[in-house]
Chains A and B, each alone.
Chain A
């Protein structure tokens, strides 16, 4: 893998291998059964793949389990949940399902977080509260407005990028995100017609304020989409990821693709390893996803280097 020359991802529908992969996931192994990384190569942070067939009440227990198994200490911390809200539609799979987000809100509160907020800055539709309402967030999350911050319209601070890979050297970013102790990226499992996949790292485009950069946040496109994803990841490297893969989207994502029942929630403390795992679930080679290649650098994204902490096992 040559990090200086990222490969362009091939847009395609998820192959049948994704289904086969997940079928074998049911015959779950344990962490002990996973291949251990080579002593010469650093392993990525572990990832968990959990079975979740529907958006049921069981999600509330599931997110508690995620917090416990990943030993997330959020006691007294400010936690920011960042779902992916794109379009006015509660019937399709464009947006992160509000049930999972509410489950996370409740679980992080129960884990002792001092404050848990939901925050998003959509890139297409301007009126975020209307979008959240139409997406079922008001109906699912009691008192939604009091827990929500529109990142497009938040107070901002200009932040210098850390060794930028894009053409940008700084970005105005929302103070709500800059001030939180734990950012939890909660994307939908989707293919993306330009980035290859839109997962926990691409989801960070939503922290770039539309109130400054517009709708869509076209500055990021001109500066290079994979490179900007890598730059945002460098600003928020400790982001925890919980991916809504219960029903994902394949084909012409992130908006016009078709629903695909996958039945998983994928979680982990390394967005890179979570996204690489999600790519494999979708039948995409992570090494062909430009932004993953950029963030991984010289470090190999081989499946054997991404330990699986608990739950289902991605077969090889």
Chain B
């Protein structure tokens, strides 16, 4: 409830939400709406205003711009698709179709042929699967791939949409395989660059949590290693958003936060008016809309309502 009040207090006059302050952006608006939906009924007027703002960010091609003033459709298109079906107001079918069309630039045959001719290492299969880019024309990365997979999984569960369930499942499998192929040697995930010029890259807490969330339900040794790494990240995570993504990802596999990490779960200030900096053993919260919304979503998931997975 306190989270909801805090989110409602941060809604911009235009109906959307900013990351911290200032103009509205699609990403925090979607997470705020998801968090409000997770809080149950009520706030219909605020949700309607949020959806009205969101609708203005949908572009003629069906995709969503990260904010109204940006005239490009990007990865954020997956986020409105995660919202409950009862939140109407945008052309869901066109957004779904736009999402299905997107692939990483490295998926193109020209790039693959060039990589093969240059002797690129194909042992991990990391170039073999179609993920999703942040921005059209660029390579696929873990974040947008995980969110697009989650959006398409919801679409399959709901039924309908522009594509057959067979096509959707093929694309979901591509995304899941992309995520598995982009796991870092330490077990977790970063943005998707596992090696650079012969050096292994380290994973990040937030991307590990997000990838684990998208890989829910998979019983796979690679996923198990990812879960172990996720628990390690949670014990040391310095970011409240990172903690929330890890709670969501681990929880989706039935892993409750470790006792040592339980105290790291972000808390709200007692006055309920704002998120305050937590104790020394917990990551600081800076009062961002994403922090508040993700903490709310992680709390809800912990008691059985995972808004990323439930239809």
Contacts and interface: CB of A to CB of B under 8 A. Distances in A.
Contact of A129 (B23, B66, B75, B288): B288
A145 interface: yes
Given A129-B288, A133-B284, A156 B69 contact: yes
A194 B193 CA distance: 14
B53 interface: no
A130 interface: yes
A150 interface: yes
Interface in A98-127: 124-127
Contacts of A158: 70-71
A64 B15 CA distance: 46
B141 A214 contact: yes
A108 to B, nearest CB: 24
Interface stretch (A216-224, A229-237, A296-304): A216-224
B206 A126 contact: yes
B143 A130 contact: no
A194 B23 CA distance: 35
A42 to B, nearest CB: 36
A125 B238 CA distance: 12
A155 interface: yes
Interface residues of B, number: 44
Contacts of B190: 124
A27 B290 CA distance: 54
Interface-central residue, A88, A214, A221, by most chain B CB under 10 Å: A214
Contact of B238 (A130, A211, A216): A130
A125 B204 contact: yes
Provide the main secondary structure of the chain A interface: mixed
Contact of B143 (A129, A215, A219): A215
Contact of B19 (A150, A212, A215, A218): A150
B286 interface: yes
Contacts of A221: 138-139
Nearest to A89: B238
B8 to A, nearest CB: 21
B239 interface: yes
Contact of B197 (A11, A131, A214): A11
Contacts of A256: 199, 201
Provide the main secondary structure of the chain B interface: loop
Contacts of B69: 155-156
Interface string B236-268: 001111100000000000000000000000000
Contacts of A153: 18-20, 25
Interface residues of A, number: 35
A255 B203 CA distance: 13
A179 to B, nearest CB: 14
A57 B193 CA distance: 39
Interface string B95-108: 00000000001000
Nearest to A257: B199
Interface in A59-103: 88
A55 interface: no
A193 B286 contact: no
A218 B25 contact: no
B126 interface: no
A133 B290 CA distance: 17
Interface string A121-150: 000111101110110001000000100001
B286 A129 contact: yes
A303 B74 CA distance: 45
Given A153-B20, A156-B70, A193-B196, A218 B286 contact: no
B31 interface: no
B74 A212 contact: yes
Contacts of B133: 214, 218
A133 B238 contact: yes
Nearest to A251: B199
A28 B107 CA distance: 55
23 contacts: A124-B191, A125-B204, A127-B206, A127-B239, A129-B288, A130-B240, A130-B284, A131-B239, A134-B238, A150-B19, A153-B18, A154-B22, A155-B22, A156-B70, A193-B196, A211-B66, A211-B67, A214-B74, A214-B135, A218-B141, A219-B138, A222-B105, A252-B196
A-B pairs, 6 with minimum CB distance? A214-B134, A130-B239, A218-B138, A129-B286, A153-B19, A134-B238
Given A193-B197, A214-B74, A256-B201, 20 more contacts: A125-B204, A127-B241, A130-B240, A134-B239, A153-B18, A153-B25, A155-B23, A156-B69, A156-B70, A193-B199, A212-B70, A212-B74, A213-B135, A213-B138, A214-B75, A214-B134, A215-B134, A215-B191, A216-B141, A221-B139
